[in-house]
């Protein structure tokens, strides 16, 4: 995939309305030879995932569009939960059963805030040089959670 194609794909994940279409597109845009079981390894397993989440949360906390949401958040606990969640989503076998709707329902998360957070993740994925197919796999799964998180 060209870098330009990937950028178009990545940015299209910001639109919640196309989440379903993204899931349909993923097999076309991913490298067919790569089995989905290899994604966690492509994130660098536990150390790579921890580094990614550190970058991501750093980006979010530096992002004045959304950092106020996290003013009273226990950041180490948030990071630990996100590392487990990515491990779980990407085939690393970590138990994860937090309910995204229950956690976020009283926060008043807007569509714009969700999109800003997705951008911060895309930047972290680029900064950590995660392979494109693995990036797209995670972004599609995060985009699919949008209806559970956006309430406003």
CB of 130 to ligand HEM, least distance (A): 16
Hey, is 85 helix, strand or coil?
A: helix
Q: What kind and span of H or E run contains 121?
A: helix 111-127
Interface pattern 1-40 for ligand HEM (x via CB under 6 A): ----------------------------------------
Q: If you ran DSSP here, which 8-state letter would residue 92 be given?
A: S
Cα(91)–Cα(68) distance, rounded to whole angstroms?
Answer: 32
Length of the chain: 152
Residues 57-116, interacting with ligand HEM (CB under 6 A): 66, 69-70, 72-74, 77-78, 81-82, 85, 98, 103-104, 107, 109, 113-114
CB-nearer residue toward ligand HEM: 3 or 106:
106
CB-nearer residue toward ligand HEM: 2 or 102:
102
Cα(37)–Cα(90) distance, rounded to whole angstroms?
Answer: 8
CB of 134 to ligand HEM, least distance (A): 16
Cα(44)–Cα(152) distance, rounded to whole angstroms?
Answer: 35
CB-nearer residue toward ligand HEM: 85 or 135:
85
CA distances, 18 to each of 31, 32, 58, 67, 69 (Å): 21, 22, 27, 26, 25
Q: Which residues bind ligand HEM (CB under 6 A)?
A: 66, 69-70, 72-74, 77-78, 81-82, 85, 98, 103-104, 107, 109, 113-114, 117, 142, 145, 149
């Amino acid at each position: 995939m060209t870098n330009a194609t990937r950028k178009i794909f990545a940015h299209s994940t910001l639109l919640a309305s196309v989440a379903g279409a993204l899931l349909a597109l993923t097999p076309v845009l991913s490298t067919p030879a790569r089995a989905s079981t290899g994604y966690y390894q492509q994130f660098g397993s536990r150390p790579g995932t921890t580094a990614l989440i550190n970058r991501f949360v750093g980006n979010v906390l530096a992002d004045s569009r959304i950092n106020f949401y996290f003013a009273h958040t226990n950041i180490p606990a948030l990071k630990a939960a996100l590392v487990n969640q990515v491990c779980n989503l990407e085939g690393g076998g970590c138990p994860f059963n937090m309910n995204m709707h229950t956690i976020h329902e009283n926060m008043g998360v807007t569509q714009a805030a969700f999109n800003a957070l997705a951008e911060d993740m895309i930047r972290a994925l680029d900064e950590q040089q995660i392979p494109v197919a693995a990036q797209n796999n995670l972004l599609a799964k995060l985009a699919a959670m949008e209806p559970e998180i956006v309430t406003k």
